[in-house]
Amino acid sequence: MNFLANPLLTANALAAPWFGSSNDSAALPGGEALASMMDPFGFGRAAVSYWRDSVERNILYWDVMRERGNQYLEHMEQTKPNVLGFETEVLVDGRTLPNPTNYELLRVLPPKNIQIDPQKRPFVVIDPRAGHGPGIGGFKPDSELGVALKAGHPCYFIGFLPFPEPGQTVEDVVESEVAFLRHVIALHPETTEKPMVVGNCQAGWQIMMAAALEPEVFGPILIAGAPLSYWAGEHGKAPMRYTGGMTGGSWITALTSDIGNGLFDGAWLVQNFERLNPANTYWKKQYHLYANIDTESKRYLEFERWWGGHVVLGGNEIQYIVDNLFVGNRLSTAQLVTRDGRRIDLRNVRSPVVVFCSRGDDITPPPQALGWIRDLYAGEEDIIANEQTIIYCLHDTTGHLGIFVSGSVSRKEHSEFTANMDYIDVMPPGLYETTISHADEHTDAELIERDYLLEFAPRNFEELDRDVMHQPEDDRRFATVARISEINLGFYRLYVQPWIQSIMTPEAARWIRRMHPIRLGYKLMSDRNPLTVPLPVMADYVRRYRQPVEQDNIFKALELMASDQIVVSLNAWRDLRDSSTERLFMDIYGQPLLQAAVGLYGDAHVHRRRPGAEPEHRRFIENRQNELRHKIAQGGPHEAVMRSVIYVLGGAPATDERNFKRLRASRAELEPSTSLSEFKRLVREQFFILKLDREQALNTLPELLKGQTGEEIDNYISHLEHVFAASGELTEHAAKRFDQVKALFDKARPAALAAPAPETAPTSDPTAATAEIAAEASNTVTAEKAQESSVEAPKKKPATRPAGQRRSSPRKR
């Protein structure tokens, strides 16, 4: 130990009388004066200080690498490895289901300082099985599970084991997740609300498939960084979407699975991810640890515990994923059919879907996260006709992992989604974008329980296209890749696969997995390597006598400059590689001759026909219209109040959570026995009634209030004023609508108590005011025209009257 560590002290002592020591410039008598004479500019002292610091950092860095390797080996030796930061208990083992899978349902046990309310909606997180092990959704307090636990929700986690069950398929996994959710629902008979489900990355498309097949078991769905439209993307970005074309299709996936003796090593997926950003993989991440070795080791090891926890997928699973999703893009166009003949159509999802993505994500950029909306629907009115609520949230900067790993994202976005899940669950059908602003920027602070406010704005397809950036000419290129992939896969299975499968053995497959470069990097720097024996002793000595260099040291500054140059160079190489790949892809698969050879040239649909014109879809809309027409005049005061809220606010029951809190409070006062599920049904039903025939829906308001006293009607109006005041003063257009509603409420008052109206000339048409205000609103608010539903029936031409003439009150008439 003395031989290895003492040179640090010896060199410092020898240099002190000549250059001075950064920590003890007077180490020897007259040392400071002599140092000033010999080194007037301090370069020698800075060099000695930097040299010592760099040697110490090197020793500490390699000791952290040794700890990382030990951590990896310990983690991989566990039977059920995960990186959850909370204690759990297994409720259902997927290996015991009729179609066994390596998935399991875990109950998350809350920390001692957190109280769980069993009456609250259950919260379920599903992590991606894309090379890494499970647990990233709850590996620290500020995580998806962490914020749900703090909010008092019963929390569950769906994880998986390192190796799949024999013969396991993607459909088996989807069925397992449905079975797990049914079990969660059975555990909470006291609540009528279905679980909120969070699907991270690859788990996002899995739960969307499950929700399309079994919509009744899902509450609100949050898909974070989840790709559903794999052909979408912006030129110059999203280089991963070209991978299938540049490898000639999915035959390479089949080859990798055959080399693994029927198993696909997830380390290959991790390697593909790392190659996307070589600057971060080969330098920036490691240098950040080296430069901040005194403070970053714990965080680094915590993340590497998940990053190095590689799992294995079944060969048929990964082949299904690549053929049908990555290359075929069949999920977003309703082309997938289960083995029992059920079509997987995402339009069947009945729960609100929240899409959380980021512009800084190069794995799942916004076009791939949102493009499925464009693939399935002709417009926002088509979404409304299908009674679907789709909400998307765009982060500006965070990367793919940051979407469900970053503590700042969890404290802000995920906290808001969790806290407002009931609000999201009652929003009317349509397309919305949500933004999150700081609470200090708004009034009514008593209605904002956290540091941020969640707000919603209706969106149309023109606005959506700014983020999706759909380019039809690219569709034919990717469709050509899909055809080429099928051809190459057929050749591989005919001529190559039998040879590979005949020579591969389980032992050879295990040896190949162990020798993977990523796995080998962890094992070589561990205690199993005898060359690492001195590291812990040296690192312990350095920590006791650590002398970090000052930040203003010139050599430290030169080190930072050199690091920045390395990052810039690697980024330049990455950009050149990605642009060359994109240009090559576009040139090869854009050739008319190649497209014609696979039968696609001149094909207008490119096997991506939007499924919105199916006969069953049209029958669904017609039946729904007829059902709602019979309900226009049915109901009572509660229907009248809700219909008025939706009408005045222009379609949505609230613009942010403040309106919802006051609306929920009003609901509790008006009808205390109404459950949240009944409230949700009421909101959606009244929304569609207004879309179907707004004029008749408004004219029947007095009929819904028939029999109410004047005092009760005043209370209803007071409740409406309270709700509308939550977000500030109403716009001029909304105020006119509210005046119209109050006039209709006045018509329902008993004759002796009807409110007097100003002295005006009577009108022969008692509904003329209603018609005029509705017509004026239609002309002044162009955004409403974009939201008119395809279920809306033709309106009658409104009656007209002289300008300025007002309708007389019921008493006057």
Tens of pLDDT along 441-500? 555 555 555 567 778 888 999 999 999 988 888 889 999 999 999 999 999 999 999 999
Identify the bridge partners of residue 502 per DSSP, sorted by sequence position: none
Closest CA to 311 of 156, 506, 527, 82: 82
* Cβ–Cβ < 8 Å for 374, 461: yes
**555-580 CB burial, b ≥16 within 10 A, e <16:** bbeebeeebeeebeebeeebeeebee
3-state secondary structure at position 701: helix
pLDDT tops 50 at residue 301: yes
In angstroms, the CA 52 to CA 260 distance is 47
Over range 657-686, report the average pLDDT. 66
**CB burial of residue 504 (10 Å; 0-12, 13-18, 19+):** middle
Strands of 94-144 (E only): list them: 103-108, 123-126
Neighbours of 429 (CB within 10 A): 23
pLDDT tops 90 at residue 732: no
Instruction: Look at 35-39, 123-127, 161-165, 507-511 and tell me which has the smallest mean pLDDT.
Output: 35-39
Over range 588-617, report the average pLDDT. 75
pLDDT tops 60 at residue 796: no
Neighbours of 202 (CB within 10 A): 20
Q: What is the pLDDT of residue 391?
A: 93
pLDDT tops 50 at residue 762: no
If you compute the radius of gyration of the chain from its CA atoms, what whole number of angstroms results? 32
585 in any annotated domain: no
In angstroms, the CA 436 to CA 441 distance is 11
Neighbours of 408 (CB within 10 A): 10
Q: What is the pLDDT of residue 24?
A: 46
pLDDT, tens digit (0-9, with 9 covering 90-100), for 163-205: 999 999 999 999 999 999 999 999 999 888 899 999 999 999 9
In angstroms, the CA 290 to CA 275 distance is 21
Report phi then psi at 249, rounded to 5: 105, -160
245 in any annotated domain: no
Final residue of a domain: which of 470, 501, 532?
470
739 in any annotated domain: yes
Q: What is the pLDDT of residue 620?
A: 67
User: Is 119 or 58 the better-scoring residue by pLDDT?
Assistant: 58
Instruction: Look at 51-65, 420-434, 638-652, 766-780 and tell me which has the smallest mean pLDDT.
Output: 766-780
Structure tokens at 37: 């004479």
In angstroms, the CA 255 to CA 608 distance is 28
Q: How far is CA 118 from CA 122, 153, 189, 191, 192, in A?
A: 8, 7, 10, 8, 12
pLDDT tops 70 at residue 600: yes
Local confidence band at 748 (pLDDT 50, 70, 90 cut-offs): confident
Q: Which ranges constitute the DSSP H helices of 545-631?
A: 554-589, 592-597, 615-629
Give the DSSP per-residue string, 159-198: EE-SSPPTT--HHHHHHHHHHHHHHHHHH-TT--SPPEEE
Identify the bridge partners of residue 395 per DSSP, sorted by sequence position: 358
Give the DSSP per-residue string, 352-404: -EEEEEETT-SSS-HHHHHHHHHHH-SSHHHHHHTT-EEEEEEESS--HHHHH
341: left (phi over 0), alpha (psi -120 to 50) or beta: left
Local confidence band at 674 (pLDDT 50, 70, 90 cut-offs): low
Report phi then psi at 92, rounded to 5: -135, 125
Closest CA to 223 of 323, 144, 157, 276: 144
308 in any annotated domain: no
Local confidence band at 385 (pLDDT 50, 70, 90 cut-offs): confident
Report phi then psi at 93, rounded to 5: -95, 120
Domain count, the chain: 2
pLDDT tops 70 at residue 313: yes
pLDDT, tens digit (0-9, with 9 covering 90-100), for 554-580: 999 999 999 999 999 999 999 999 999
Q: How far is CA 493 from CA 93, 163, 167, 490, in A?
A: 35, 24, 19, 5
Final residue of a domain: which of 447, 470, 493?
470
Structure tokens at 382: 């088509």
Q: What is the pLDDT of residue 565?
A: 97
Local confidence band at 341 (pLDDT 50, 70, 90 cut-offs): very high
Structure tokens at 209: 């498939």
Q: How far is CA 438 from CA 224, 432, 443, 453, 693, in A?
A: 22, 20, 11, 6, 39
Report phi then psi at 160, rounded to 5: -150, 160
- Rounded to 5°, the CA angle 344-345-349 comes to 110
In angstroms, the CA 296 to CA 578 distance is 31
Neighbours of 585 (CB within 10 A): 21
Over range 638-667, report the average pLDDT. 69
Structure tokens at 391: 């909400």
3-state secondary structure at position 3: helix
User: Is 255 or 422 the better-scoring residue by pLDDT?
Assistant: 255
According to DSSP, residue 108 is labeled E
Q: What is the pLDDT of residue 664?
A: 60
222 in any annotated domain: yes
Local confidence band at 65 (pLDDT 50, 70, 90 cut-offs): very high
pLDDT, tens digit (0-9, with 9 covering 90-100), for 433-449: 988 876 555 555 555 55
Final residue of a domain: which of 470, 494, 528?
470
Q: What is the pLDDT of residue 806?
A: 37
User: Is 14 or 542 the better-scoring residue by pLDDT?
Assistant: 542
Over range 406-410, report the average pLDDT. 75
Q: What is the pLDDT of residue 45?
A: 80
CATH assignment of the domain containing 380 = 3.40.50.1820
Instruction: Look at 50-54, 559-563, 629-633 and tell me which has the smallest mean pLDDT.
Output: 629-633
In angstroms, the CA 422 to CA 219 distance is 10
Work out whether strand 430-438 and strand 452-458 pair parallel, antiparallel, or are unpaired. Answer: antiparallel
Local confidence band at 811 (pLDDT 50, 70, 90 cut-offs): very low
pLDDT, tens digit (0-9, with 9 covering 90-100), for 88-121: 999 999 999 999 999 999 999 999 889 998 889 9
pLDDT tops 80 at residue 601: no
Give the DSSP per-residue string, 427-438: PPSEEEEEEEEE
Q: State which of 370-384, 673-687, 728-742 shows the largest mean pLDDT.
A: 370-384
Give the DSSP per-residue string, 217-248: G--SEEEES----TT---TTS-GGGGHHHHTT
Q: Which domain holds residue 172?
A: 88-231+329-470
116 in any annotated domain: yes
374 in any annotated domain: yes
Determine what percent of the chain is predicted with pLDDT higher than 70. 79
499 in any annotated domain: no
Q: What is the pLDDT of residue 427?
A: 82
Structure tokens at 467: 């983020």
Local confidence band at 211 (pLDDT 50, 70, 90 cut-offs): very high
Over range 278-295, report the average pLDDT. 95
Instruction: Look at 126-140, 212-226, 615-629 and tell me which has the smallest mean pLDDT.
Output: 615-629
Mean pLDDT of the chain: 82
* pTM of the complete model: 0.81
